[in-house]
Amino acid sequence: MSPMKIILSLAMFVMIVACRNHSESVKEMKSSDINIAAVDEILGLSRAADGMTFRLFAPKATQVNLILFEKYDDLDGKTFAMTVKANGVWGITIPDASLTKYYAYSMDSTKLIIPDPYSQAIVRKNHFTYLSKSIILPQDNFDWQGDNFSSAAIGDLIILESHLRDMTAHASSGAQQPGTYQGMVETAQKGGLAHLKDMGYNAIEFLPLQEFGNIEIDYMNPELATLNHWNPYETNHWGYMTSYFFAPEIYYGSDGISDRGAWVGQDGRAVREMKEMVRALHKEGIAVILDVVYNHVSQYDENPFKLIDKDYYFRLDKDGEYLSLSGCGNDFKTENPMARKMIIESLLHWMQEYHIDGFRFDLAAMIDLETIDAITAATQAINPDVILIGEPWGGGKYNPSELADHGWASWNDHFRNSVKGRSPRDNDDGFIFGKLWDGKDLEHYKKLMCGYLQSEGGHYRQPSQSVNYLESHDDNTLGDFIRLALGKVGETQAVTREQVARLSSEELVIHKLAALNLLTSQGPVMIAQGQSWGRAKVIANSVGNDPKAGQLDHNSYEKDDETNWLNWDEKALNQELVDYYRGLAAIRHQYAEIRNVDIGYRQFIEGTNKLSFGVSMAGKHQVLVLLNGNRKSISNFTLPPGQWTILADANRADPEGLGTVEKVARVVRQSGLILVQEG
């Protein structure tokens, strides 16, 4: 048996066991007659010596047909009747399909064209309903040039959370193919891969790259079943509306366009171009993490799972309508055997075919725990060091401890809130503003700096499970949070990016303390795009009818390029903060003591005010991190004997050192120090 078959067999075994453990809920399903043996079937398009085989799980269908098309815009094609097994899987083998490029299915007596939910590439017509067809790709001959998975340990990661298009779409990036997979890894530019290398980040977490519904319903069109009164842009920029879980997003290919009515992705080139991007990132030692959405599917297009079997694949209310605890129009029934199978096989596909190093799971609290265990077993069988990170909320639930118990890391929002604050309004800010957030004491901050362990009242079994961050794509940028908290900009005040882009000295002080706090925390670190220069996100309003134009934006999922993209000239505008982030990243890479994720490794020393404390780490070197959040007073720390090299202070960070100190370290207000001596 081949290694891949062994891995798939293991994954299927885990899924079957999980399904049987869920036998009571299975009995309650409307599709209760589904034979779970269907999880052993190979779905989608597969090749063999005798031709191409197509399989679709559609247990309620009375007839399923395969349709082969010569042209992407053909309305009719050659139809072949498929046969069904007792487990609900329809199949057919075509002896010679070499003369056709596109396919889809039809069910029962309807004329709907249903693309394969297992499509590895898709051609689509730009409209919110997205008429689509599956592409029959040629045999894969991509040359990985010896590439494999990244070898970085999760505790060593400095992750840049990034939207692929934003990284190169602005003219200041200098990319020849802006906003694309190819543009991301061009070398002669300011953005993309060049920025990652410049800053010393060793991982990138891309917002969704699986094919998604990036065109949403018409604005204020009363003829539609849903009246869109909230999205004048009629787009979904971020990508949290997955349409096809095995296909790369067409819009980021070299042929991607957003013109309404245009067909895109005709030759499936995005498949090759995304692989080339991953290969180039890996060559520079950068791990690739995909943000994936398995809690719901695209809301407005004709998603195959909705057309194939709504009852089976979605959680419904008593009236048979979609539940939407996700807030995205539908909730995927991850606990059903064939839904779980799709999720597992999708993840394995991205690992095997694209060498993806890990995944961040959107609204992971909505994924049932049996599926989470199956994901862990199957992905670790391919790569024991696979990165699995959950967003620990969704559907009204919050489960970082459960995710940790099942071996996953998750975003540590307690770290974010305690260091920064939850909101820049209502005096709800944290340590970097000289406050103890939400009634917490200093002991709480110490626990956060040690991975926020369950044994100390936190969430995680191991420090490596705490993904520490201060900004993500959600909510205000850190720069805007600080602007709002300091009253530099009013919540409804209209400004331009040029007016707010340059940081004041007061803002710089707070940004530097935030950066030092973050990059010396125990556990993997995540930094958002533009965070290292205090990026402002101002609503640009390209459609001309956004009533909030000019305001700082806290939720730009639907906005235009101009609101979301990165202006690389702003990086140079705040070079002092950029240099500070770069220096801290270099220090973290150079000193394994800061990256160490062993329980109990860190010890604490006291400062001289209630908003200061120090962290001591001893290995080959002894490293001290001294933090003072107080806005008014200095904190003095008594140092262990000997001379200490200053690696970072209130102004600069440099692994080569900034001078020395002995006996007492003086930490000025709202700042920190990193000190080192030989162990």
pLDDT digits (tens, 9 = 90+) for 418-436: 999 999 887 788 999 999 9
> Is the pLDDT assigned to residue 15 strictly greater than 60?
no
Which of 98-107, 430-439, 660-669 is most confident?
Answer: 660-669
How far is the C-alpha of 620 from the C-alpha of 602, rounded, in Å?
14
Q: What are the tokens at 103?
A: 């396919």
Q: Are 259 and 170 in contact (CB under 8 A)?
A: no
Q: What are the tokens at 204?
A: 């990138």
| 202 contact partners, CB below 8 Å, separation of at least 6 | 152, 156, 157, 158, 285, 286, 287, 589
CB atoms within 10 A of CB 576: 15
| 547 contact partners, CB below 8 Å, separation of at least 6 | none
* Count of residues making up the chain: 679
How far is the C-alpha of 597 from the C-alpha of 605, rounded, in Å?
19
Counting Cβ atoms within 10 Å, is residue 331 exposed (0-12), middle (13-18) or buried (19+)?
A: buried
CB atoms within 10 A of CB 458: 22
| 332 contact partners, CB below 8 Å, separation of at least 6 | 294, 295, 296, 297, 305, 313, 314, 315, 339, 366
φ, ψ dihedrals at 618, nearest 5°: -120, 125
Query: How far from 567 is each of 166, 174, 272, 498, CA to CA, in Å?
Result: 9, 11, 28, 11
What's the whole-number mean pLDDT along residues 233-250? Answer: 97
DSSP states along 90-150: EEEEES--TT--EEEEEETT----B--TT-SSEEEESSTT--EEEE-PPPP----TT----
> Is the pLDDT assigned to residue 2 strictly greater than 60?
no
Counting Cβ atoms within 10 Å, is residue 440 exposed (0-12), middle (13-18) or buried (19+)?
A: middle
Q: pLDDT above 70 covers what percent of the chain?
A: 94
Q: Are 367 and 408 in contact (CB under 8 A)?
A: no
pLDDT (tens digit per residue) in 626-666: 999 999 999 999 999 999 999 999 999 999 999 999 999 99
> Is the pLDDT assigned to residue 180 strictly greater than 60?
yes
| 351 contact partners, CB below 8 Å, separation of at least 6 | 149, 379, 382, 383, 386
pLDDT score at 393 = 97
Beta-bridge partner residues of 604: 615
What's the whole-number mean pLDDT along residues 591-620? Answer: 96
Q: Are 175 and 191 in contact (CB under 8 A)?
A: yes
pLDDT (tens digit per residue) in 329-383: 999 999 999 999 999 999 999 999 999 999 999 999 999 999 999 999 999 999 9
Query: How far from 413 is each of 159, 398, 444, 486, 637, CA to CA, in Å?
Result: 16, 11, 13, 22, 29
Q: Are 213 and 244 in contact (CB under 8 A)?
A: no
How far is the C-alpha of 423 from the C-alpha of 579, rounded, in Å?
27
pLDDT score at 49 = 81
pLDDT (tens digit per residue) in 36-70: 668 899 999 998 888 999 999 999 999 999 999 99
Band of the pLDDT at 23, cuts 50, 70, 90?
very low
How far is the C-alpha of 512 from the C-alpha of 534, rounded, in Å?
10
The reported pTM is 0.94
Which amino acid does the sequence have at 568? W
pLDDT score at 95 = 87
> Is the pLDDT assigned to residue 9 strictly greater than 90?
no
> Is the pLDDT assigned to residue 5 strictly greater than 60?
no
| Residue listed under structure tokens 């979605």 | 314
| Residue listed under structure tokens 């007659």 | 33
pLDDT score at 26 = 32
Counting Cβ atoms within 10 Å, is residue 505 exposed (0-12), middle (13-18) or buried (19+)?
A: exposed
User: How does DSSP classify residue 343?
Assistant: H
Task: Please give the residue that has the higher pLDDT: either 20 or 529.
Answer: 529
Query: How far from 438 is each of 418, 443, 445, 503, 606, CA to CA, in Å?
Result: 8, 13, 12, 27, 22
C-alpha dihedral (300, 243, 387, 674), degrees to nearest 10: -40
pLDDT score at 36 = 63
φ, ψ dihedrals at 243, nearest 5°: -105, -45
Strands (DSSP E) contained in 201-285 are 203-206, 210-212, 242-248, 263-264
For 349, the 3-state DSSP assignment is helix
> Is the pLDDT assigned to residue 3 strictly greater than 90?
no
> Is the pLDDT assigned to residue 18 strictly greater than 90?
no
Q: What are the tokens at 401?
A: 């401890």
CB atoms within 10 A of CB 209: 26
Q: Are 107 and 128 in contact (CB under 8 A)?
A: no
pLDDT score at 469 = 98
DSSP states along 145-181: TT-------GGG-EEEEE-TTTTT-SGGG--SSTTSH
Mean residue pLDDT across the chain: 93
pLDDT (tens digit per residue) in 514-568: 999 999 999 999 999 999 999 999 999 999 999 999 999 999 999 999 999 999 9
Q: What are the tokens at 415?
A: 């770290």
Q: What are the tokens at 441?
A: 């004491």
Closest CA to 384 of 427, 336, 351: 351
Query: How far from 360 is each of 48, 108, 602, CA to CA, in Å?
Result: 34, 38, 27
How far is the C-alpha of 208 from the C-alpha of 247, rounded, in Å?
11
In the chain, the domains with their CATH numbers are 157-592 (3.20.20.80), 602-678 (2.60.40.1180)
C-alpha 404: how far from chain center: 18
Q: Are 589 and 557 in contact (CB under 8 A)?
A: no
